[in-house]
Structure 1
Amino acid sequence: MATEIPGRPDVDGPPLVHLLQEFSLEANRYVDAAGGRNDMHRTDLNALSVIMQHTARNQVVTPGVLRRELHLSSPATTALIDRLDKSGHVVRERQGADRRQVQLRMTPKAYRDGGAMFLPLARHMAAALESFTPEELEVATRFMTAMIEATVRAGEEAAAPAGPADPR
């Protein structure tokens, strides 16, 4: 018989949600371990991921983009870019007609280091995926896409200013 703990939120829910939470925790632990071995903070790795994603979509990455995507203050963003520049992972460039706008680009070193850091994870994940059929992977892909979209919506809701209190 389960003992109810006063003040404890209800943690019962779909097992898949619990597995997603556990996956997120383990992924964070991996990033911390891989980054730590390479003297990089989780924020550094997240910044490189943001730059890589935007670059893949042919989008310009500026300090403002990093600040917004990583929810950092301007001074924290500057410190982050300084670290990535000093480590040789990012360069600042000024291009186009407006030479005031700084654009961030990953260096070949960033791609090499990132590949080396995440190769063990990619190798183990690839091996785990081999036991699934293409149809199962299609369902899993749809599921993960829906969970990511739900998480984005929840994050937007959590970031929105609080409305008036419910008078009920």
Structure 2
Amino acid sequence: MPDEGPEMEIVHLLRAVAVELGAHSTRFAQRNDMHPTDVRALIALMDASRAGEEMTAGRLGAALGLNSAGTTALVDRLEKAGHVRRVRDGRDRRRVTVEVDERAVTLGRAHFGPLIGRAVDLLRGYDGRETAAIRSFLAGVREAAAEDGRAP
């Protein structure tokens, strides 16, 4: 383990942030009668939408590490609750994508909006170089965690 220098202090702080964000997400799930995986699914769907990508149930399941039956149950549950909708492809009626309903976005904004607003305000206090360093660090940690998750 590396020495307990300033780098490790930041690593410990990042871990604490991850724990707090997880707890914040869990509170949202509990208050809205959702499973934590439901919240992860909604986030994955919103991220795909923001990136201009369509999300099929299969792709969603892969992103969440769910099998086909688990993914179907998840999408059924979210659809029944009014959080998502299945949309048939106009060109290939066999292809179905999953989209987040605006009601789920509104619900999420009500809970996560204040936290996101505070984070944005904090980031506005940094100059372009500092923001680039923060982005690079977080992207690197995310990639390292993703690689670790893919390791046998």
2:113 counterpart letter in structure 1: L
- Say yes or no: does 1:138 pair with 2:105: no
21-30 or 123-132, larger mean C-alpha shift: 123-132
Q: CA deviation at 1:60?
A: 1.9
How many Å separate the matches in 1 of 2:148 and 2:54? Answer: 27
Match of 2:78 among 78, 84, 96: 84
- Say yes or no: does 1:122 pair with 2:122: no
2:93 counterpart letter in structure 1: R
Aligned-residue CA RMSD (Å): 2.1
Structure with the higher fraction of residues in helix conformation: 2
Unaligned stretches of 5+ residues in structure 1: 1-9, 161-168
Q: Which entry has the higher C-alpha Rg, 1 or 2?
A: 1
* 2:145 aligned residue: 151
93-102 or 128-137, larger mean C-alpha shift: 128-137
* 1:62 aligned residue: 56
1:37/1:143 Cα in 2 relative to 1: closer, same or farther (>3 Å)? same
Q: Deviations over 1:4-33 (max 9, x none)?
A: xxxxxx697622222221111111000001
TM-score, length-normalised on structure 2?
0.85
1:20 counterpart letter in structure 2: L
Identical-residue share of aligned pairs (%)? 35
SS in 1 for 2:99: strand
Q: Deviations over 1:79-135 (max 9, x none)?
A: 111111011111112113432222111111122111112112113323443554443
For the Cα contact (< 8 Å) 1:35–1:117, is it kept in 2?
A: no
How many Å separate the matches in 2 of 1:67 and 1:11? Answer: 36
* 2:27 aligned residue: 33
Unaligned stretches of 5+ residues in structure 2: none
